[in-house]
Amino acid sequence: MKYTLLVVCTLAMHTLYAQDTYKGKILNTYNQSIENANITVNDSVVGTTDKFGMFEVTLNEPNVVYVYAEGYEVLEAELTDKDQFYTFNIQPEANLGELVVNVNKKNTERNKGITNSQTMNSGELLKAACCNLAESFETNPSIDVNFSDAISGSKQIKMLGLTSPYILIAEENIPSVRGASQAYGLSFTPGTWVESIQVTKGAGSVVNGFESISGQINTELIKPANDIPFYLNLYGSTDARFEMNAHFNEKISDKWSSSLFLHGNTRVKKNDMNHDGFLDNPLGSQINIMNRWQYQNLEKGWIAFLTARYMKDEKQTGEIDFDKNIHKLTTDKWGSELNTDKFDASSKVGYVFPDQPYKSFGWQNSFSYHKQNSYFGLNQFNITQRSIYSNLLYSSIISNTLHKFSTGVSFMYDDYSEFVYNYTAQNYDRTDTSYGAFFEYTYDNTDNLALILGGRIDNSNRLGTFVTPRLHLRYNPWEKTTLRASAGRGKRLANIFAENQYLFASSRQFNILDEGGKAYGMDPEIAWNYGVSITQDFQFLNKNTSVTLDFYRTDFQNQIVVDLDQSARTVNFYNLDGKSYANSFQAELNYNIIKHLNLRAAYKYYDIKTTYNGKDLERPLQAKHRLFANLEFMTHEHNGSYWKFDATWNWLGKQRLPYTGDNSQENQLPTYTSSFSTINAQVTKVFSDNFEVYIGGENIGNYRQHHVILGADDPFGNEFDSTIVYGPIFGQMYYAGLRFKIKQ
C-alpha cells in the first residue's frame, strides 16, 4: 500500500558545547502520530519518535537527515536554518523496478528505551484464542500463565516468579487490576479492545506509583482517532464458549472521534472430562460495554480522552448436578457463584507546548466501582471497592534535551466493604488514602549512555510516610549490544482475601496471625528488586538474530506469607519471619529462520524460597525450569490474500506441591509433580483487508492433571481441596472464528 508521509519539524536552538537540538513531530496523511520512526545521519540513528510522533536530534552542525518509517518512503532533508519552520511532504513510494523491499513489523518488539521492556501489538494478541488479557500472554516468554484453581476457570499470571499482586497492572498508565479485581480483573478486558501491551521487568517508573515490585504491565486501548468504522469478531470453541466483539467508530469532526466497544461471552455446556463430578469450566456470561471519546488539536498541542465502561460478569461452577435455585449454601450439592458488577470512568488531558515540544503536562483521573458477591460451597466472600485516582504530571528539560525530568503529584483513595464467612463471619471494612509527589530525572546522550533516576515520597493513612527510590540504566558498549540495569523498592498493602479467594474453594480454615499491623493485623509488604540484562543483535547465516540474557532478584523485607504447608486443613497468614527471595534467569533467542518464518525461544530458571514456619522451602506450584518456543509463519501476499501460521510449545519442569500428608491415603499427593508440556497452534486465512477466518487448538497434546480436586467425592468433608492446580484441567480444545472490518 502506498502512503504519503507528512513530516512537520519545529526547530528550536539550545546551545551546549556548540550542539543544536532539533525537535519535531512525524505524522501520516491522516495527521496520526508515527511511532518508532528513525532519524539518521551518516547511517547512524540520532533520534527515534515516541508514541506521540515526537523526536529530538542533536547535531554539531547543519546536516542532511533521513527519516525511516516502516511502510513509508524515506525522507531526505537538509536542516540549514534553525529559525525556519520546516514542512516536508513525502510522496508515494516510487517504482523501483527490480528492487522490492518488504518490511514486516514484529508482533512483539524489545523496546530501545532505558527500561527492559517489550511491546506486544494487536498482532501478538491475535495468536491466541479469542482472548482477554489473562489469556493474551501465552506467546510471551516473560510472563507465566497458570490456572489458579480447579473451580473458577480463571488464569493467573506471574512475572519473575511472583504472582500478579506484585505486578503493577495499568490501563493507559492508570492502575487498573488491584484490590478487589486482583483475582479476576485481567479477564475483564477483551483482547480486541487492546492496541498494545508494554511489559516491563523489574522496578517500574515512580510516575505510576509505589506498588510495583516485580514489574509493570501497561495496556494501551484502541484510540478513537485511529480506529476503523466497524470491526466484528465472532468466536466459538469445543468447550461451548462463544464470544462476540463489535467496535463502532465515528469521526465526528477533524478534532473529535468516538468509539463504542461491545463484548459478550457465554459458556452454555457442562464439561467434566476427568469424570470427577465437578465442572471443568464454569458456566456463565459476561457483558462488557465501553465508550471512548478523543479530542485532538495537534496544531495547538491538545489531546484528551474520556472513557466510560460497564461490565457484568456471572459465573457458576461446582458439582455437575448443582442447581443454584435449590442447592445454594446447602450441603446437598457443592456449588459456587461469582457475580461481579464493575463501572469505570476516566479522563486524560495532555498538552504539548507547540513551540517547545519537549515540554508538556498531563492530568489523569479515574473512578472505579467494583462489586463482587460470591460463595464457594458454604464459604462466602463479598467485596465492594470504590476507588479514585488522580495523577498530575509535568515534563520538561534542564538546560538542554540531554537532561529531562518529569515531576508531579498523585492521589489514591480506596474504600472497601468486605465480608468473609469461613467458619465465622466477619467484616473487614476499611478506607485507604495516599497522596504523594514524585520526581524523575532522565539523562540520554543519544549515543551510548542513558539513565533514569526517580524517587517519590508518599503519605498513607495505613503505610505512614515513606520514600520510594528507583534507578534504570542503559549502556551500549559497542554496536548492537545493549546493557541494562535496574534497582528499586516497592511497598504495598496485601488484600489477603481478594488476592487468595481461590482458597475458599476448599475446606481449609483461614488463620490470621494478628501482630498489631494495620492490614488485617499484619504489616505492609516491602521488597527490593535488582536486575541486569544484556541484548546482542547480530547476523547468523545472513539472518537477523537477537539474544537477550537477564537476571533479576527480589528480596522481601516483609511479606505476608500464605502458608499451605503446616497442615492440609488450614491456610495461615502471617508476617515473614525469616527470608523470602525470588531469583529469575531468562535466556531468549529471536531468529528469522527464513523469510516470513520467525522463531522465539526461551529458557527460564527460578530459585524462589520463603521461610514457612521456620523452614526454608521452595515456593509451591512453581517450576524451577521452563522452556518456551514460538514459531510464526506468513505466506506471500497475493491480491491482499495470505495465510498465517502460529504454534507455541511450553515445557514445565517439576513443581513442589503443598503438604497433604495429614489427608487419607487417597487424598495425599507426592512432594513434586512430573514435568509436562503443552502445544497451542492457530491458522489464519486472510482473504482481504476486510475479512479473515481462523481456527486453532489449545493443549493439542491433551495433557491433563490427574487428581485435580482432592476429596471430590465428599466436598463438604475436611479433605476437600480444589486449589492445588499445576497443569491443564481441560483436555484438547479447538476453536474457530472470523474477523470482519469496514475500513472506509
Alpha carbon of 201 to those of 434, 449, 508, 563: distances in Å? Answer: 25, 20, 34, 27
Helix ranges, 365-503 (H): 496-499
SS3 of 331-387: the string is CCCCEEEEEEEEEEEEEEEEEECCCCCCCEEEEEEEEEEEEEEEEECCEEEEEEEEE
Question: Would you state the pLDDT for residue 532?
Answer: 98
Distance CA 260, CA 292 (A): 7
Residue 94 has a CB neighbour count (10 Å cut-off) of 8
Distance CA 662, CA 668 (A): 8
Beta 509-512 vs 570-575: how paired, if at all?
Answer: parallel
Question: Would you state the pLDDT for residue 117?
Answer: 92
Residue 254 has a CB neighbour count (10 Å cut-off) of 9
CA atoms within 13 A on the CB side of 29: 11
List beta partners, residue 382: 373, 419
DSSP 596-652: TEEEEEEEEEEEEEEEETTEEEEPTT-BSEEEEEEEEEEPPPBTTBEEEEEEEEEEE
Return the CATH architecture of domain 221-742.
Answer: Beta Barrel (2.40)
Q: Are 127 and 107 in contact (CB under 8 A)?
A: yes
* DSSP symbol at 326: H
Domain 221-742 in the same topology as domain 108-220: no
With CA atoms as reference, report the closest residue to 272 among 230, 337, 322, 210.
322
Domain residue ranges of the chain, discontinuous segments joined by +: 20-90, 108-220, 221-742
Return the CATH architecture of domain 108-220.
Answer: Beta Complex (2.170)
The vertex-144 CA angle with 534 and 237, nearest 5°, equals: 135
Residue type, 703: Y
Distance CA 300, CA 378 (A): 60
Distance CA 384, CA 376 (A): 18
DSSP 233-271: EEEEETTSEEEEEEEEEEE-SSSEEEEEEEEEEEE-S--
Distance CA 374, CA 151 (A): 13
Distance CA 582, CA 64 (A): 50
Alpha carbon of 617 to those of 522, 565, 656, 658: distances in Å? Answer: 22, 9, 9, 10
Distance CA 380, CA 583 (A): 36
Q: What is the pLDDT of residues 644-660, one digit of tens each?
A: 999 999 999 999 999 99
* Cβ partners under 8 Å of residue 147, min gap 6: 153, 154, 155, 156, 725, 728, 729
Q: Are 573 and 558 in contact (CB under 8 A)?
A: no
Distance CA 551, CA 549 (A): 7
Q: Which of 293-298's residues contact partners 24+ apart within 8 Å by CB, and which partners?
A: 293/224, 293/256, 293/257, 293/258, 294/223, 294/224, 294/225, 294/256, 294/257, 294/258, 295/255, 295/256, 296/225, 296/255, 297/255, 298/25, 298/27, 298/31
Q: Are 184 and 176 in contact (CB under 8 A)?
A: no
DSSP 32-71: -B-TT-EEEETTEEEEE--TTSEEEEEESS-EEEEEE-TT
Distance CA 307, CA 469 (A): 32
3-class DSSP assignment, residue 73: coil
Question: Would you state the pLDDT for residue 130?
Answer: 67
* Cβ partners under 8 Å of residue 583, min gap 6: 161, 551, 552, 553, 606, 607, 608
With CA atoms as reference, report the closest residue to 731 among 322, 373, 265, 275.
275
Q: What is the pLDDT of residues 57-75, one digit of tens each?
A: 777 666 778 887 776 778 7
Distance CA 710, CA 501 (A): 18
Question: Which parts of the chain sit beneath pLDDT 50?
Answer: 1-18, 30, 92, 94-103
pTM across the whole model: 0.86
**20-90 CATH choice from 3.20.20.80, 2.60.40.1120, 3.20.20.70, 3.40.50.300:** 2.60.40.1120
Question: Would you state the pLDDT for residue 595?
Answer: 87
% residues pLDDT > 70 (the chain):
91
SS3 of 101-148: the string is CCCCCCCEEECCCCCCEEEEEHHHHCCCCCCEHHHCCCCCCCEEEEEC
3-class DSSP assignment, residue 151: coil
Task: Label residue 545 exposed, middle or buried (CB < 10 Å: 0-12, 13-18, 19+).
Answer: middle
* Cβ partners under 8 Å of residue 325, min gap 6: none
* Cβ partners under 8 Å of residue 507, min gap 6: 569, 711, 716, 717, 718, 719, 720, 721
With CA atoms as reference, report the closest residue to 358 among 699, 134, 22.
22
Distance CA 690, CA 576 (A): 56
List beta partners, residue 384: 371, 417
Distance CA 108, CA 197 (A): 9
